[in-house]
């Protein structure tokens, strides 16, 4: 483990460590306008949602590390406290990156990046027509965090109107991440696409707290096969399987095969039941995994 005190390393080095490890970060593709009506479009990965009532987004145009200058977006929201936060998907990621170029004040990045302006309804800056989602916001507060290079400026926004492309919704009426196809920022030149094998589901903990890993039987808690994630999935259950269910499972083909192939030795049987449970857990078959782990050993 490498341990550092932020005061002991140069700011650019610390900046790289932070952005490389606190990732992936969603991207606020922020469109703003100045008092003269000049439009700016710029992406920021110091960004997230911080509440739903009121709906609150925060992003931070940090002071540049290399020369301590500030960005046009910050100046714009101080003049006109409104912004549209556009969400970036994979089909527009290259255009978003192009818009991050440091064009002179007054240059419209919509035009440079080839993106279409869509008139907003409650704020002056336009939104990105191609964005899968866009949030018209009023700026409620700008909080400077320092005066040196690398210091953030928290722009606290209240969403006053939200727009969503219809294609991002599934049949259940919820946003489908496979259809959203969002991208996020990593460190350096790296990005992350929320698609394919990058996506997975994880059941939320029960309203009644699970038993916890500390309550698992020793043979399971100290398994040579099951990972910490798999133990946690098991420990999210509130109770151990009932004896009747275990007895019934012992008559299944799965159980009979385990006894036939590995029942000649207790350690071998335990190892392979744990392997089978691990396989079932990857398929989200938690109850069956518990039944496999609860099978009586051959000597019992």
pLDDT at 4: 95
Query: How much is the average pLDDT of 170-185?
Result: 97
pLDDT at 121: 98
How many CB atoms neighbour CB 150 within 10 A?
17
Task: Domain 6-195: state its class.
Answer: mainly beta
pLDDT at 59: 98
Average pLDDT score, the chain: 94
CB 280 within 8 Å of CB 252: no
For residues 22-59, b (16+ Cβ closer than 10 Å) or e, as one string?
eebbbbbbbbbbbeeeebbbbbbbbbeeeeeeeebbbb
Whole-number CA gyration radius for the chain = 26
Assign 73 to helix, strand or coil.
helix
Assign 93 to helix, strand or coil.
helix
% of the chain exceeding 70 in pLDDT: 99
pLDDT in tens, 69-90: 888 999 999 999 999 999 999 9
pLDDT in tens, 246-286: 999 999 999 999 999 998 888 889 999 999 999 999 998 99
Residues of the chain with CATH 2.30.110.10: 6-195
pLDDT at 205: 78
Q: Please name every residue paired with 82 in a beta bridge, in sequence order, or none if there are none.
A: 138
pLDDT at 300: 52
The residue among 37, 144, 28, 33 whose CA lies nearest residue 82 is 33
pLDDT in tens, 190-246: 999 999 999 988 877 777 899 999 999 999 999 999 999 999 999 999 999 999 999
Cα distance between residue 252 and residue 299, in whole Å: 19
**Mind giving me the DSSP string for 12-61?**
HHHHHHHHHHS--EE-EEEEEE-TT--EEEEEESSEEEEEETTEEEEE--
pLDDT greater than 70 at residue 182 = yes
pLDDT at 129: 97
The residue among 287, 221, 298, 300 whose CA lies nearest residue 248 is 287
Query: How far is residue 112 from each of residues 19, 92, 106, 107, measured CA to CA in Å?
Result: 27, 13, 12, 8
pLDDT at 192: 96
What are residue 6's phi and psi, to 5 degrees? -50, -30
Q: Please, which pLDDT band fits residue 44 given cuts at 50, 70 and 90?
A: very high
């Amino acid at each position: 483990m490498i341990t550092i005190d932020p005061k002991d390393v140069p700011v650019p080095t610390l900046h790289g460590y932070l952005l490389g490890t606190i990732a992936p970060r969603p991207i606020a593709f922020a469109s703003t306008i100045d008092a003269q009506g000049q439009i700016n479009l710029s992406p920021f990965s110091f960004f997230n949602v911080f509440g739903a009532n009121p709906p609150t987004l925060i992003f931070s145009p940090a002071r540049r590390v290399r020369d301590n200058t500030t960005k046009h977006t910050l100046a714009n929201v101080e003049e006109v406290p409104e912004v549209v936060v556009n969400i970036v998907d994979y089909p527009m990621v290259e255009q978003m990156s192009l818009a991050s170029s440091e064009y002179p004040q007054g240059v419209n990045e919509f035009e440079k990046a080839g993106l279409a302006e869509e008139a907003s309804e409650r704020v002056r800056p336009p939104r990105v027509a191609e964005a899968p989602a866009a949030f018209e916001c009023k700026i409620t507060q700008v909080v400077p965090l320092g005066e040196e290079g690398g210091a953030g400026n928290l722009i606290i926004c209240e969403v006053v109107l939200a727009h969503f492309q219809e294609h991002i919704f599934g049949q259940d009426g919820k946003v489908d991440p496979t259809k959203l196809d969002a991208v996020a920022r990593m460190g350096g030149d790296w990005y992350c696409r929320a698609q394919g094998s990058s996506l997975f589901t994880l059941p939320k903990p029960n309203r009644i707290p699970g038993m916890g890993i500390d309550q698992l039987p020793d043979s399971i808690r100290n398994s040579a096969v099951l990972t910490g994630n798999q133990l946690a999935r098991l420990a999210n259950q509130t109770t151990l399987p009932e004896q009747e269910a275990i007895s019934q499972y012992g008559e299944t083909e799965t159980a009979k095969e385990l006894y036939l192939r590995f029942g000649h030795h207790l350690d071998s049987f335990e190892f392979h039941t744990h392997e089978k449970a691990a396989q079932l857990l990857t398929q989200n078959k938690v109850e069956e995994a518990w039944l496999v782990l609860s099978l009586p050993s051959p000597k019992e």
